A and B are shown apart, each in its own frame.
Chain A
Amino acid sequence: MKLVVIAAGLSEPSSTRLLADRLAGATGRLLPVRTRVVELRDLAVDIAKHLVSGFPSPALREVLEAVAAADGLIVVTPVFTASYSGLFKSFFDVLDRTALVGKPVLLAATGGSARHSLVLEHALRPMFSHLRAATLPTAVFAASPDWGSGAEAGGEELAGRIDRAAAELAAALGHAAPVRTNDELVPFAEQLAALGLD
């Protein structure tokens, strides 16, 4: 079972990466998965070049192929200007538009304040619905106070959300559909027939 984790955090250390690792770890405890974490920061220039040239560098191509071949994804973005980061969006802009069809995707985001948490529902979920991914019901938002240790600071609550989301992902991976390919050839006679030609 192949799990790819996309983390769009930019700082080092990154709370986005930390959340990504927590989610991947929780999933791994429920199901034997091979996990690969991709930090988009390392691909930032390649992604920008792809937007301009229309094709990926070898390094980016390898990651795009890994995403397409994955059984499920965990995607984590920091909240920038009330939405997902531009880098996060650009990565999915250059991904093949059928790469995520039917694939379980766990949505997650980080931000300075819990007031941004609906970004998951208002920005990320519609984008992944457009890509026809099977987004999981629980999406996880971690605000700065959530990283405090005790229940009072919300720390235990975050741990609970992580476990719930991971359980949903593990369940979905347990009966995941096989990875699709997008080469469905329509024989020419059918193309002619559709136009009423012989």
Chain B
Amino acid sequence: MQFGIFTVGDLTPDPHSGRPPGEQERLKAMVAIARKAEEVGLDVFATGEHHNPPFVTSSPTTLLAYIAAHTEKLILSTSTTLITTNDPVKIAEDFAVLQHLSDGRADLMMGRGNTGPVYPWFGKDIRQGIPLAIENYALLHKLWREESVDWKGRFRTPLQGFTAVPRPLDGVPPFVWHGSIRSPEIAEQAAYYGDGFFANHIFWPTQHFQQLIELYRTRYAHYGHGTAEQAYVGLGGQIFMKKNSQDAIRTYRPYFDNSPVYRGGPALEEYIEQTPLSVGSPQEIIEKTLTFREHFGDYQRQLFLMDSGGIPLKTVLEQLDILGEEVLPVLRKEFALGRPADVPAGPTHAARAARAAGAR
């Protein structure tokens, strides 16, 4: 089981100062956060891709490659890469370069973006959202697996005898997750290819995602990739910790009340009760995170959102220290208990390359 963090790279003002971080400040903070993640023993750092203010994450592979150069073990991923508006040829190339330079520490998550207007910014038609996601990924999948690609689709010019370079490291394409919060078509797509399915799992109640993951698992088995229990499931989460509950809630409340996502709706306490948002003592974070397995079965990757909504870098780094020291060791131990031997671990390049070599 892999644990990590994911970021959206937002420039939300700190409610205490009213000041948003500068763009360079935020990008460098994300690097510092990623390096800290490795230092405290986390496995994964993932970044979103946004092309509008107040975000700075328009070029994920640039950021991830820079982080790769400053880390040793951390898996670099996205949350998400826009399969609808990026040219699949460019995705194939960018992530193959990242995969080589990071020694296989790269994977990625497919998504469709945070806003409708992103489609015209890249010359695409929002009404074709799902068909674009299906066709573009079908091409990306082929580009990483076939040396010479002949291709004809609806949404881009045809390819004849095209070779995407560099070829995937050791002949093994980066592992792909498909992220979705409501579309059964995407769960079906992930199942069809035997790829991973990531449910963001924050901002809404758990039962919202249970049907989608159940559908993905059932269809994964239907397509013959393994049993439903062996499907690759990733979940999001959001946590804020202090030694005791009251301090955690008191410290977090101003960030919650000013959050672009949370403000103006149900109170912090209602969100904590009804959604995966965890604010409390390390023990409370552990207990709540462990319930995810009860809802979704044994899974492969848990990513936490920890740096959004104006929380200053210093606090995020402190949070990561607590996560690494007090929460992570217990989660690793507890999630391993009773985990069936035939449920796969989180996907790594080393394991997948060994399996591919074995198959050859």
Could you tell me which A residues sit within 8 Å of B by CB distance? 49, 51-55, 57-58, 183, 185-188, 191-192, 194-197
B154 touches which one: A183, A186, A187, A196 (CB < 8 A)?
A196
Partner of A192, one of B134, B152, B211, B265: B134
Contact at A191–B134, with CB atoms within 8 Å? yes
CB–CB B274/A197 < 8 A: no
In the complex, B55 has a CB within 8 A of chain A: no
Q: How far is the CA of A49 from the CA of B185 in the complex (A)?
A: 29
In the complex the two chains form, is B134's CB within 8 Å of A195's CB? yes
Cβ of B214 to closest chain A Cβ, rounded Å: 11
Q: Does B295 contact A (CB under 8 A)?
A: no
Contacts of B138 in A (CB 8 A): 192, 195, 197
A195 touches B135 (CB 8 A): yes
Within 8 A of A (CB), among B188-218: 188-189, 191-192, 203-205, 208, 211, 215
Say yes or no: A57 contacts B188, CB within 8 Å: no
- CA A195 – CA B131 in complex, angstroms? 7
Sample (11) of A-B pairs whose CB atoms are under 8 Å apart: A54-B204, A55-B205, A57-B274, A185-B184, A185-B188, A188-B192, A192-B138, A195-B131, A195-B154, A196-B152, A197-B153
CB neighbours (8 Å) of A188 from chain B are 188-189, 191-192, 223
Q: Give the distance in Å from the alpha carbon of A188 to the alpha carbon of B130 in the complex.
A: 12
Mask, B177-191, CB within 8 Å of A = 1, is 000000011001101
In whole angstroms, what is the CA distance A103 to B215 when docked? 27
Which chain A residue shows the least CB distance to B193? A188
Residues of chain A lying within 8 A (CB to CB) of residue B219:
185
Residue B274 contacts which of A55, A187, A195 (CB distance < 8 angstroms)?
A: A55
In the assembled complex, the Cα of A197 lies from the Cα of B88 at a distance in Å of 15
Is B266 an interface residue, CB under 8 A from the partner? yes
CB of A49 within 8 A of CB of B265, answer yes
* Total CB contacts across the A-B interface at under 8 A: 59
Complex alpha-carbon distance, A51 and B271, angstroms = 14
**Across the interface, do A191 and B185 meet the contact criterion of CB distance under 8 Å?**
yes
Contact A183–B184 (Cβ < 8 Å): yes
Known: A191-B130, A195-B131, A195-B135. 4 other contacts (CB 8 A): A49-B270, A51-B265, A57-B266, A191-B134
CB distance from A30 to the nearest CB of B (A): 37
B264 contacts the other chain (CB 8 A): yes
Q: Are A58 and B185 in contact (CB under 8 A)?
A: no
Residues of B participating in the A interface, judged by any CB pair closer than 8 Å: 130-131, 134-135, 138, 152-154, 184-185, 188-189, 191-192, 203-205, 208, 211, 215, 219, 223, 262, 264-266, 270-271, 274-275
Task: Determine how close the nearest CB of chain A comes to the CB of B122; give it in whole angstroms.
Answer: 19
Q: Which residues of B contact A195 (CB under 8 A)?
A: 131, 134-135, 138, 153-154
Task: Tell me which residues across on chain B come within 8 A of A187, comparing CB atoms.
Answer: 188
Question: Which residue from chain A places its CB closest to the CB of B155 in the assembled complex?
Answer: A195
Task: State in angstroms the CA–CA spacing of A53 and B264 once bound together.
Answer: 8
Which residues of the other chain, A, contact B271 by a CB distance below 8 angstroms? 53
- How many Å lie between the Cα of A186 and that of B183 in the bound state? 12
> Across the interface, which residues of B come within 8 angstroms of A54, CB to CB?
203-204
Chain B residues, CB < 8 A from A57: 266, 270, 274
Nearest CB of B to A184, in Å: 9
B264 to chain A: which residues have CB within 8 Å? 52
A79 to B336, CA, bound (A): 60
CB distance from B132 to the nearest CB of A (A): 10
Check if B131 sits within 8 Å of A53, measured CB to CB.
no
B residues in contact with A192, CB < 8 Å: 134, 138
Residue of A nearest to B134 (CB): A191
Given contacts A57-B274, A197-B138, A197-B153, contact A191 B265 (CB under 8 A): no
Question: Which residues of chain B come closer than 8 Å to A194, judged between CB atoms?
Answer: 131
Is the CB–CB distance between B192 and A53 below 8 Å?
no
**Chain B, residue nearest A52 (CB):** B265
**CB closest residue in chain B, given A61:** B205
Q: How far is the CA of A188 from the CA of B215 in the complex (A)?
A: 13
> How far is B188's CA from A53's CA once the two chains are assembled, in angstroms?
27
Chain B residues, CB < 8 A from A52? 264-266
Q: How far is the CB of A90 from chain B (nearest CB, A)?
A: 13
Q: How far is the CB of B129 from chain A (nearest CB, A)?
A: 13
Q: Which residues of A contact B270 (CB under 8 A)?
A: 49, 57
* CB closest chain-B residue, reference A56: B205
**Which 4 A-B residue pairs are closest in the complex by CB-CB distance?**
A52-B265, A188-B192, A53-B265, A49-B266
Do A186 and B134 touch across chains, with their CB atoms under 8 A apart? no
B31 to chain A, nearest CB (A): 32
Rounded to whole angstroms, the CA-CA distance of A51 and B219 in the bound complex is 33
Q: For the complex, what is the distance from the CA of A191 to the CA of B205, rounded to whole Å?
A: 29
Nearest A-chain residue to B138, judged by Cβ: A197
B224 to chain A minimum Cβ distance, whole angstroms, is: 13
Name the residue among A187, A196, A197 with the largest chain B CB count within 10 angstroms.
Answer: A197
- B250 → chain A, closest Cβ, in Å? 22
Question: B184's closest neighbor in chain A, by CB?
Answer: A185
The interface residues of chain B lying within 8 Å CB-to-CB of A186 are 185, 188
Q: Given the known A-B contacts A53-B266, A57-B266, are A197 and B135 also in contact in the complex, defined by CB atoms under 8 Å?
A: yes
> In the complex, A49→B204 CA distance in Å?
12
Of A52, A53, A54, chain B has the most CB atoms within 10 Å of the CB of A53
